[in-house]
Chains A and B, each alone.
Chain A
Amino acid sequence: MALKAAMAVTGAILVLFLIAHMYGNLMIFGGPQTFDTYSAHLRELGEPMLPYEGFLWIMRVVLLASVLVHAYAAVTLWMRARRARPAGQRYHTKKSVQRSYASYTMRWGGVVVVLFVIYHILHLTTNDIAPGGASASPYERVVNGFQIWWVVLSYVIALAAVGFHLRHGIWSAVATLGGNRAGRQRSLNIIATGLSLVVTIGFLIPPFAVLLGLVK
């Protein structure tokens, strides 16, 4: 019963993280100095109350826990839905009346997002995948990677998945937490669409800036 609330709350944490992450990414336009300082600052945040990288690890733990809870709840609900209409009791013809494409792609879209996050961490955090060359400077990692068209393309696809996931996810989290009230449904949906567009576009600006040579 609390599964859906857990899903909504962890989803909300992840959305807040994404917004912060996107904001940080935009620092790339400040040049190598600014970007690398921001990156280093993330590790020093909270010192001396916290050890070096202390805040970052707290955040990583919270994020990982959120992802795990989110995924666990999602899989449980997915299985419940499958049980609720088991094989042999499916429709021969089924049409949707109003459902959004976003709601349709929630589950497999979520899987795509998870795979992307792993790829993304290996790419820009640990740098184990380093198309265009590895570097100790986060700024250079970004620039090296996104000069290659297919790297940008892979991020475009992944961020589209993220965008759709957010579009339904934000709306659904609000509804699950009891925030949908008479007359408010339309505006909630507009806000969810707007926010997911902002996040998707915000994340896509730096890769395209690199690809188009605006950031070198």
Chain B
Amino acid sequence: MNITLRVWRQKSRDDEGRMVTYQVEDVSPDMSFLEMLDVLNEKLTLDGHEPVAFDHDCREGICGACGVVINGVAHGPETTTTCQLHMRSFKDGDVIDVEPWRAKAFPVIKDLVVDRGAFDRIIQAGGYISAPTGTAPDAHAMPVPKADADRAFDAATCIGCGACVAACPNASGMLFTAAKVTHLGMLPQGQPERAARVVKMVNQHDEEDFGGCTNIGECAAVCPKGIPLDTISQLNRDLLGSLASGNPK
């Protein structure tokens, strides 16, 4: 099939950027979306143009590196990562708009590549359990009810891709933050730091210039790992409890 792409091209952080139209011919429906971009890039290179820069690595939907907004939807029409989206989700002759994640907290580095360092800094603020190597008791010293372990796992499947931010009308990073708060907060090992953790992480989230959550739910709807929206409510419960019990803002 033949596809018309309108791709965001931006040379560097400070460049203004614009949508540029390309034709991609002989696209196989079995290609992944990124393989279709590979084909475009091969052609651009041979024609002496610069290929389109985009982040990607594992190409099996787990590393969280890839992610572009396709026709206005983060990761495109299927609820999965961009690398797991295949061209059979499109039709011959389609016009496809491809844009980077857009948020102040995720500045564009080049073309479709953005800087998601803000997510790492949110984790630095408290998204961990302090357990220096060698200090651990036996793994069976503390049983964890299966329901809690499962809920922690569901939240822990977050791949940090940033689609939640890209999709949110407020550009909020609350689903990402909440997933980590819930993962660690559901486990007995995470209890000692639970109250302080949520406050520190939400503070960092706000400092990074993410917007606030207004419970619209676009984040959970595009999340490739299906992190549910009630994770944010869990964060809110922890946050209010923590503030009420006198943890500093």
Contact = CB atoms under 8 A, between A and B. Distances in A.
A176 to B, nearest CB: 6
B102 A77 contact: no
A102 B203 CA distance: 29
Given A99-B216, A103-B216, A180-B229, A175 B236 contact: yes
A4 interface: yes
A85 B218 contact: no
Interface residues of B, number: 50
Interface string A90-124: 11111111111001001000000000000000000
A191 to B, nearest CB: 14
Nearest to B172: A84
Contact of B210 (A1, A84, A91, A96): A84
A68 B216 CA distance: 23
B104 A3 contact: no
Contact of A172 (B6, B171, B214, B218): B214
Nearest to A77: B212
B209 interface: yes
Interface string B64-100: 0000010111000000000000000000000001010
Contacts of B209: 83-84
A49 to B, nearest CB: 31
A214 interface: no
Interface in B205-245: 206, 209-218, 221-222, 228-230, 232-234, 236-240, 243
Interface residues of A, number: 40
B230 A93 contact: no
B12 interface: no
B72 A91 contact: yes
Contact of A92 (B16, B19, B169): B19
A179 B243 CA distance: 17
Contacts, number: 133
A79 to B, nearest CB: 10
B233 A181 contact: yes
Contacts of B167: 97
Contacts of A176: 213, 215, 233, 236
B94 to A, nearest CB: 13
A54 to B, nearest CB: 32
A81 B211 CA distance: 4
A182 B151 CA distance: 10
A86 B211 CA distance: 11
**Listed residue (B171, B213, B214, B229) with the most chain A CB atoms within 10 angstroms of its CB:** B214
A91 B74 CA distance: 11
A125 interface: no
B206 to A, nearest CB: 7
Contact of B215 (A84, A95, A172, A182): A172
**Listed residue (A96, A97, A98, A184) with the most chain B CB atoms within 10 angstroms of its CB:** A97
A1 B238 CA distance: 13
A85 B212 CA distance: 12
B105 interface: yes
Given A4-B213, A81-B171, A185-B229, A96 B218 contact: yes
B140 interface: no
Contact of A182 (B72, B217, B230): B230
Nearest to A5: B240
A178 interface: yes
Nearest to A90: B102
B175 interface: no
Interface in B12-64: 16, 19
B230 A185 contact: yes
Given A1-B203, A5-B240, A175-B232, 20 more contacts: A84-B209, A89-B102, A89-B108, A91-B102, A92-B99, A93-B69, A93-B99, A95-B72, A99-B217, A172-B214, A172-B215, A175-B233, A177-B240, A178-B233, A178-B238, A180-B215, A180-B233, A181-B233, A181-B234, A184-B230
Interface of B: 6, 8, 16, 19, 69, 71-73, 97, 99, 102-105, 108, 151, 167, 169-172, 199, 202-203, 206, 209-218, 221-222, 228-230, 232-234, 236-240, 243, 249
